[in-house]
Amino acid sequence: MKGLLIISALGIIAMLAEIFKFKKLLLPIVLLGIVAAYAFNFMEWNTSMSISYFDNMIAFDKMGIAFSGIILATAFFWFILANDYFEEDSNTVDHFALVLFALVGALMLTSFKNMTTLFLGIEIMSIPLYVLAASKKKDLKSNEAGFKYLIMGSFASAFLLFGIALVYGATGSFDIMQIRTYVSANSQSLPLFFNVGIVMLLVAMCFKVSAAPFHFWAPDVYEGSPTLITALMSTVVKTAAFAAFLRLFMVGFAGVSEMWTGVLAVVVALSLVIANFSAAMQNSVKRMLAFSSISHAAFMLMIILANVRSNLSVNALIYYSLAYSFGSIAAFGIVYNVTRNGNQNTDAFNGLAKRNPTMAFCMAVAMLSLAGIPITSGFFAKYFVFTAMITTPYKWLLILAVITSAVGAYYYLKVIIAMYFKTQVAETETIQVEKSQTLVIVLTTLVTLVIGIVPGLVANMFKV
């Protein structure tokens, strides 16, 4: 909770920076703030029970704290990486504030206890992102991205609200624990519109995590937004949305799981197929990563689908989020540097192994991790999904996941082949990456490898 308050305070401080003229100091302040928030967050881990606030609207239990930890750590690295982005134009402080407020929303999502907090969290997180997506004001694609995101996002929010209302109508409560008890007590006499409500919530959440067939916004928004904002969307935002998804369905609707797992299975199947085959056809690296993020969303959804009641799925999702976030931070950091001259296609990576061996190596590790090859963390992430899925009746999904994973290797390898095999056509200038950015990229790559070799560091957070 203190972490959440600190981040909120940072957001306000950021807005004051313009008036009191300490713009230059802002980044160090923010980084310090995040470290402090992380430390407080960490200390709450050791206080045994979850503490709830505001009449049980929000409560930081261990699961929430774990996800908050991932989000704060990713955000810390992101801010170092994004130094450039903030220096680019005049509205620095606004951007700082917007990102920080999005972060506030993300933290709320990890620990909501009440569906109103869920809605608030999603809106607080999304609205700054609509603006940030369009923050390259003179770029048509960026404007398009922001606009599309706004329209589609509002649409999904409407679904979310409608779903909340219907569930409230059926159960008489916004509190997910009370919904859970009510559902298990009256499982026979639930009205039909309760089911409709759940499906609407499912649709809204699937939109937020960009699962097919609610994914159409993702490629355009990912491609159009400034690369670093895309990085933010595919890491922090995604983790938060999945934390919320997991809590809502694992805690709230576990009692009626047979009702929504079927729907979710279809969503997963569609996401796997559409995402991987579309990604294979992309030329633009950013679009490819957008589709790849949809495919990873499908994998994370499988965790929710597989094991609706056990800590196994929490462990798996935490590990997956961490592996995916860190892999993505490294990948997007490199994409940002490589595509600076405006060429966003895979051939921008041609000959990177010669132009900047360190970056090429880190990118190769990130790609192998996203493809799920041992000894990177991506492999264990996939492994946990497979182990969870094999116990369910949805074994066909697993086979589908295997086939589409092989397709997935295709487009990740395309980048590696470009870096190590193709030579650059035009000029052979080396790619200079700022020291701080190199540090972040190398560090995240190291984390990817370390938790891939010693998965026990993260994977056993909760007793199974």
The residues of the shown chain that bind another protein, judged by CB under 8 A, are 368, 371, 373-375, 379, 383, 386-387, 390-391, 398-399, 402-403, 405-406, 409-410, 413, 416-417, 420-422, 455-456, 459-460, 464
The minimum distance between CB 405 and another protein, in angstroms, equals 6
Rounded to a whole number of angstroms, the minimum distance from the CB of residue 62 to another protein is 16
With respect to another protein, which residue has the nearer C-beta, 15 or 280? 280
Q: How far is the CB of 25 from another protein (least distance, A)?
A: 40
- Cβ-contact 365, 376 below 8 angstroms: yes
Q: Count CB atoms within 10 A of the CB of residue 417.
A: 13
What's the CA angle centered on 86, arms 36 and 111, to 5 degrees? 40
Give me the least distance between CB of 379 and another protein, in Å please: 7
Q: Which is nearer to another protein, 266 or 390 (CB)?
A: 390
Q: How far is the CB of 412 from another protein (least distance, A)?
A: 10
Q: Which is nearer to another protein, 41 or 350 (CB)?
A: 350
Q: Closer to another protein at the Cβ: 141 or 422? A: 422
Nearer to another protein by C-beta: 123 or 347? Answer: 347
Kindly report whether the peptide bond that precedes residue 417 is cis, defined as omega within 30 degrees of 0: no
- In the complex, least distance from residue 294 CB atom to another protein, rounded to whole angstroms: 19
Q: How far is the CB of 265 from another protein (least distance, A)?
A: 17
Residue closer to another protein (CB basis): 25 or 402: 402
Give 165 or 413: the residue with its C-beta nearer to another protein.
Answer: 413
